[in-house]
Homo-oligomer: A and B are copies of this chain.
Amino acid sequence: MAVTLRDVALAAGVSPATASRALDPDASAAPRTRDIVRQAAEDLGYAGNSAARSLRTSRTDTIGLLLPDVRNAFFTDLAYAVDKAAAEAGRTVMIGNADEDCHAQDRYLNTLAKHQVDGLLVVPQGGASVTLRKVVAANPTVSIDRDAGLGVPVIASDSAGGMGELVDHIVALGHRRIAIVAGPQSTSTGRERLRAVAVRLSQHGIGLGSEYLVEGDFQLASGIAAAQQLLGLSTPPEAIIAADALMALGVLTVMRRRGVRIGEDVGIAAVDDTPWFEVLDPAVTVVAQDTAQLGEKAVAALLDRIAGEDVDTTPIPTRLVIRRSLGETAPSPSGESPLGSPIDSAPGSLGESPPDAPTDQRNGRATTQPIRLRNPGRTVGESTFTTHNSEETTHG
């Protein structure tokens, strides 16, 4: 059916062994032979058979990426970054969706194992299941975002630092009754973010009452349920921190339906940024994770791991993007952030082109230059990665 190496060899008048070498840039072959074989391969439309190849070499040049929820933009951004970094390293990524379900996770893990991926990138959910442990033991693995106690390197953001900054900011704004819609305590990020908030709060002499702590599951519905609970309290919080964007969306949904004025009646802040947060009125203050760097570092770490080298697991700094959802004062309705200079005048990757730079539409591929952000929010923190929004603008 499909064209085999044998066919190519026959057409080129050489042995399959020579054809194989001629097609392998790292093998030795006479330049002349190389040309002939390549031509034959081209002519016949030879694609190769990766099953045969990997059966022989026990390598697949494929890495598996196990995600808890493909519909969560944070993971999608991560997948994007991983895919990009992997492609640059000549690896293909197989994305698996656990659908926030341990069963589905195990199922996918098994497929990946069968497929002999060279390595595994996992954002584990729940504890370390038996299947997870088994597969991890058999494959070079790096964990991203979450630490499930697998004994593998973990590439993650410095959640604690980010949450600390956020709490400082909220307290500085004068809020005292602060609630958190936490992530599932079965995840390290869920635990870590909650812990960091509680600790920093107590450093400010503020307690975290049990009625102000609701555990969600990082998905939309749990944010809705949590907001209903918090907003129904006889003394509702002044500010709500949501441990991810989806739960924040749930909270926002309830606020809107109940006519609660965001930033006035109750403030809200979230972990993870999305372009949507900037379009809301008021725009939502967030602790942004650097998904691009997370993805790059994870791939690099896995490659190191496969090569048997040490990996760098320094946490990646987050970035506090201050907008107006916590009642931050603003000089003008459509104006700039009152707290910092607009990005137009900031050093760095933006502000090169005029705000009205048109989109070049040939071939459906935009080559738009970066556009100045009039209301980007102020940035606090060490990192200098571009905002989600400017990134979208730049890469779009």
Contact = CB atoms under 8 A, between A and B. Distances in A.
Interface of A: 1-2, 45, 47-55, 58, 60, 62, 70-71, 73, 76-77, 79-80, 83-84, 87, 92, 94-97, 99-102, 104, 107-108, 110-111, 113-116, 125-126, 134, 138, 184-187, 190, 215-222, 224-226, 228-229, 232, 249, 252-253, 256-259, 275-276, 278-281, 333-334, 355-359, 361, 363-366, 368, 371, 374-375, 389, 392-396
25 contacts: A2-B138, A49-B55, A49-B116, A51-B52, A51-B116, A71-B392, A83-B99, A87-B104, A92-B96, A100-B364, A125-B364, A126-B363, A216-B361, A217-B396, A219-B392, A228-B356, A232-B356, A249-B276, A249-B279, A253-B275, A253-B278, A256-B281, A257-B334, A257-B374, A281-B281
A48 to B, nearest CB: 5
Contact of A366 (B95, B97, B221, B363): B221
Contacts of A108: 92
Contacts of A190: 364
Nearest to A113: B47
B221 A361 contact: no
B55 A84 contact: no
A1 B186 contact: no
A358 B225 contact: yes
Nearest to A47: B113
Contacts of A96: 92
A186 B50 contact: no
A268 B94 CA distance: 38
A186 B96 CA distance: 31
B77 A71 contact: yes
Given A126-B363, A225-B359, A225-B366, 13 more contacts: A47-B114, A50-B114, A71-B73, A80-B97, A92-B94, A187-B364, A217-B361, A219-B392, A220-B396, A221-B393, A221-B395, A222-B361, A224-B393
Contacts of A107: 87
A359 B80 contact: no
A222 B114 contact: no
A286 B22 CA distance: 55
Nearest to A354: B228
Given A100-B364, A111-B92, A276-B276, A371 B224 contact: yes
Contact of A256 (B219, B279, B368): B279
B60 A71 contact: no
A387 to B, nearest CB: 13
Contacts of A94: 92, 94-95
Contacts of A215: 361
B60 A70 contact: no
A115 B62 CA distance: 10
Nearest 7 CB-CB pairings of A with B: A221-B396, A184-B364, A225-B359, A259-B334, A51-B55, A219-B396, A50-B114
A160 to B, nearest CB: 20
A146 to B, nearest CB: 11
Contacts of A110: 47
Contacts of A62: 115
A279 to B, nearest CB: 5
A325 B281 CA distance: 14
A337 to B, nearest CB: 12
Contacts of A226: 359
Contacts of A116: 2, 49-51
A183 to B, nearest CB: 8
Contacts of A76: 70-71, 76
A4 to B, nearest CB: 11
A41 B364 CA distance: 52
